[in-house]
Amino acid sequence: MPSGCCGGNTCSCQMIGQGGIVIEGSGLPSDPFIIDAATYHTDSNNGQFLTTAVGVGSAADPYAIEVDYAPQARLDDIPNVDTPSPQNGQVLTWDTPTNTWKASPPAVAPVGAISHDTSLLGDGSAATPLGVVAHQARYLGVSASGVGLNDNGMASVVHHFANDAARFASLPFPTLNMLSMLETGPGIVEFWDGLKWTRPPNQTGWVASEALLELSGPYTQGLPITMGVYQVDTTTDAEGNFDVLDLADLAGRSGVLSVMVQETGDVAWKAMVFDNVDRISATAYRLTDGTTMAGTPVTATANAVMY
């Protein structure tokens, strides 16, 4: 401020406010000069960025300008990106002559650019597309539906079905010796014998030198066997004989390896088992005097090993 101005009771200096600056007061101690500047802020949107002015200019709430992308901003607004009309499926590709990123179709690997081992075939071209090599000996097959077990592989695993109706309706058709299990019979495995689902016979590693009764040939070592328990409740004939296993019990059997009879009832007696052409019979003897029990009711439990 110039020397002498406001040095006394009056001031000879002239002060003019411009550009939004307002000067108030006379410069007296009781009425000092007050310089007040009014400022204005507004939001701006140039299409790429949106600026927002906040604050009142005080120490507690200073002016601040916030910058964000405008709603209509696009990737193409970046200086080194040139994608005015991108199409579905296109990707950004660097273009060296123009030093810009451009929208282009994805690059396709040239034939022979893909390396693979012997588990795949083809080169990835339209003429020889990539495929999986089926290993038939390891039960791996390839079909129009994809990669999976071949028929031999399918026959080597246990197939699970909710019930017999679901198993009957399933595809493909079962192959010989295919295994299955029903949820209605957990733990029971059945196999397809070519005509129907049936339970496999008991296999105990039984060893027999010869059979008690041969119906259709001798027993072969290692052939599966069946253990059967039968209840006998009958009357002996005039010679004290009765059937332990009749034709119905032996239907579908090739022979009987052995039979053990547990005699029951109030009378002490003993059954002497013998093979009887196409069945297993026994003669009942009283243990009191050794006589045959002719025309006598007898009961017993028979345990038979059959093949």
- 153 φ, ψ (degrees, to nearest 5): -65, -40
Does a structural domain hold residue 103?
no
d(CA 212, CA 222): 17
How confident is the model over 172-190, as pLDDT tens digits?
788 888 899 999 988 889 9
Most confident of 34-43, 154-163, 218-227, 256-265: 256-265
Contact yes or no for 234/295 (Cβ under 8 A): no
Once rounded to an integer, what is the mean pLDDT over residues 15-20? Answer: 68
Does a structural domain hold residue 114?
no
CATH code of 264's domain: 2.60.40
Tell me what pLDDT residue 206 has.
Answer: 75
Does a structural domain hold residue 68?
no
Does a structural domain hold residue 280?
yes
Does a structural domain hold residue 284?
yes
Tokens 């007050």 belong to which residue? Answer: 34
Tally the domains of the chain: 3
The rounded percent of the chain whose pLDDT value lies above 90 is 43
> What pTM was estimated for this model as a whole?
0.41
232 Cα distance to chain centroid: 52
Same domain, 173 and 254: no
Does a structural domain hold residue 162?
yes
Same domain, 229 and 180: no
d(CA 239, CA 285): 10
Does a structural domain hold residue 112?
no
Average pLDDT, the chain: 86
Once rounded to an integer, what is the mean pLDDT over residues 203-219? Answer: 86
Same domain, 160 and 191: yes
H or E stretch at 165: helix 164-169
CA angle, 150 then 151 then 154, to 5°: 85
**Secondary structure of residue 47 in the 3-state scheme:** coil
Same domain, 261 and 300: yes
Assign 113 a pLDDT band (cuts: 50, 70, 90): low
The residues that bridge with 274 in the sheet, in sequence order, are 281
* Cβ atoms within 10 Å, residue 75: 11
Same domain, 160 and 228: no
The residue segments making up the domain with residue 165 are 152-198
CA angle, 282 then 284 then 289, to 5°: 150
